[in-house]
Amino acid sequence: MADIIIVGAGPAGLSAAIYARRAGMETVVYEASTYGGQIINTPEVENYPAIAKISGFDFANDLYNQATNLGASVEFDNVTGITGSAEEGFTVELESGAKNTAKAVILAVGATNRHMGIDREEELTGKGVSYCATCDGAFYKGKTVAVTGGGNTAVEDAIYLAGVVQKVYLIHRRNEFRAEETLVNAAKKLENLEIITPYVIKELKGAPKLDTIVIENREDASTKELAVDGLFVAIGQEPKTAIFKDLVTLSGGYIEGGEDCKTNVKGIFVAGDVRTKKVRQLTTACADGAVAALAAIDFIKLG
């Protein structure tokens, strides 16, 4: 039996593993694909305290090495179910058919950015296509960018970028926004922010980096091209929580948990982008990992 099983080897999960091992806890991390989470797709990270600049891959690799050098076991297997209780311990079932047990579980499975699903999107990710304005906006200072989406995040991103770049296009497929009216009104007041509706992005052009987007009017199917240096996709996220819907309480697909990272189930904790919260950044994911691990340690020691 492990002391703590962590599901997910992204920044939150690996940070939790570091804190758990430093406390002497027998720690196992299960990851379905590759360690590092979404950050491995970020060419440059410039907003992590005390690290002026580092690639997302190098950051993830350093975090992985730190956790494993401390003795955390990272196993690449997909978690398919969790049963048990705080009193009897938790059983984690794996796709390989194996099982493991633990006194506490930390869910750090993350959330994936919803993609547009158009040609060359993956190819140009990190080369003009981004899913995080606050992460990558500074790279486009003085340039022209577009934001696609109609919710609060998209409008907030457009407003934020308007303070950084020369020109922002906010593109939404409907004439009306889902975002709060106050946000939309604030966006409309910005001279360097142009709202374009009802349009969708149909094509991405440019090599080796994005330089043009083709947008299509949803009412008459007419198209036009916009020269841009960057495109920020803000059409939502998809938390990886389907298998936990009968285990812990979800809200909008995210696992409910406060700043203490406790779920509604004693002995099960949540960390990172999968937790219900407003800010989802690399720093907040790592912070959640530390908080969740310390909470799990207290639970094991104090009950």
Residue-wise pLDDT tens digits, 15-39: 999 999 999 999 999 999 999 998 8
pLDDT of residue 120: 97
Query: In the predicted model, what is the mean pLDDT of the chain?
Result: 95
Q: What's the predicted TM-score (pTM) here? A: 0.76
The tokens describing 298, both together, are 């207290």
286 assigned to active site = no
CA distance linking residue 220 with residue 259, whole number of Å: 48
How many of the other CB atoms lie within 10 Å of CB of 33?
A: 9
The one catalytic residue among 3, 77, 136, 220:
136
pLDDT of residue 236: 87
**Going by C-beta distance under 8 Å and a sequence separation of 6 or more, which residues neighbour residue 224?**
214, 215
pLDDT of residue 98: 97
| Regions of the chain short of the pLDDT cut 70 | none
136 assigned to active site = yes
CA distance linking residue 103 with residue 90, whole number of Å: 6
Residue type (1 letter), 11? P
135 assigned to active site = yes
The one catalytic residue among 3, 77, 132, 286:
132
Exposed / middle / buried, residue 93 (Cβ in 10 Å: 0-12, 13-18, 19+): middle
pLDDT of residue 177: 97
pLDDT of residue 38: 82
pLDDT of residue 14: 98
The one catalytic residue among 3, 62, 135, 220:
135
The tokens describing 264, both together, are 């509604």
List the one residue out of 172, 181, 279 whose CA is nearest residue 233. 172
The tokens describing 110, both together, are 């993350």
